[in-house]
Amino acid sequence: EADIYQTPRYLVIGTGKKITLECSQTMGHDKMYWYQQDPGMELHLIHYSYGVNSTEKGDLSSESTVSRIRTEHFPLTLESARPSHTSQYLCASSEDSRNYGYTFGSGTRLTVV
């Protein structure tokens, strides 16, 4: 059973729209991450957070932004969606990644038309 939830699972939206992808976890983990994954491709870290009011950009440049106002919630926002943003977005959390790794959500598959 998932303790980290992503909504929506699938989203098709028009160019120029503002969207927010939701990610929530019930495990009390301090560390949360957003990855972008194109079909059949590797994972790219785009944002991470080590706790409330802490956010950092990842290895892959992204036009998205994130916030961390509550421990359990780590939403990702695109102010103006473009077709190049079409991808799968995976959220993960961890208390101690070295010893336990990450727990992943089921992902949001975004299509911008």
Q: Out of 20, 50, 63, 111, name the contact with other proteins by CB under 8 A.
A: 50
Let me know: does 48 contact 93? Beta carbons within 8 Å: no
For the chain, count helices (H), then strands (E).
1, 11
Tell me how far, at minimum, the Cβ of 93 lies from other proteins, in Å.
11
Q: Out of 42, 61, 70, 83, name the contact with other proteins by CB under 8 A.
A: 42
Q: Does residue 98 bind other proteins (CB under 8 A)?
A: yes
Q: How many CA atoms lie within 13 A of 40 on its CB side?
A: 0
Nearer to other proteins, 63 or 100 (CB): 100
Nearest CA to 63 out of 92, 32, 25, 34 is that of 34
Q: Please report, as ranges, the residues that interact with other proteins according to CB under 8 A.
A: 6, 31, 33, 40-43, 45, 48, 50, 90, 92, 94, 96-107, 109
